[in-house]
Structure 1
Amino acid sequence: MRHTRTFTVGLVLAGLLGLGDLATGFFGVGGEGQPPLAAAVVITLLGAITLAGAWFAWRGRRGGLVTVIVTRILSGLAVLPAFGDDSISAANQVLLGVGIAVTVAALALIWPGLRRPAVAAS
């Protein structure tokens, strides 16, 4: 299966976001302005599932692509409460906003990959 450039860029962005989520569990817990342990665990799991889905999507599996899309949406939704939390620093809120913007861009680039090719009538 050949991948378009937009699909490849979107999948790489989603994979990098997944790696960022995975790093949350290792570096982003317990400090002031950091997510609570339960949130960090969920975000870390979403990152790991995103990476697995990206691998399957790259190999042409539609289920892998759906997995990437769902986990990226859930990860984006998981950080929204941080914008209403006064204990989260402004710098972290800016980083979260950038992450959401990159998530939207990645989703826009990979979403067309869900379309099935048209079958010619004979």
Structure 2
Amino acid sequence: MAIGDKIKRYFDKGVTASKTAFDKGMEASKTAFNKASSAVQDFSDKSVVRIEKHQFETKKEEQLLALGKKVFEKFAGDTASAVRADDADIAPIVAEVKHCDEEIAKREEALAQKPKQD
């Protein structure tokens, strides 16, 4: 075998090894990028859900304050009257508080779910 053939064979072997190493590196980079991308997306999604949950909690607090005000007005008036959940000025507030509770529960459930694993 000629020296030129040996050199060419070693060169080809080196090129093949380099290509294999490069391909493995690229595959590892793609995998790492996909995992990082998934983690960032999950964090972003959960951040939005946390913000929505906080908004419903704030709205619920506002509605409870409004309910308390209405009840106080009924009790403190000259002719104190009984308060019922189906009163025209009470029922919408109670319904909104219940709606907020449902929405908060949905967001808590979404936050409790584990992130997707690839």
Q: TM-score, normalised by structure 1?
A: 0.39
Greater Rg by CA:
2
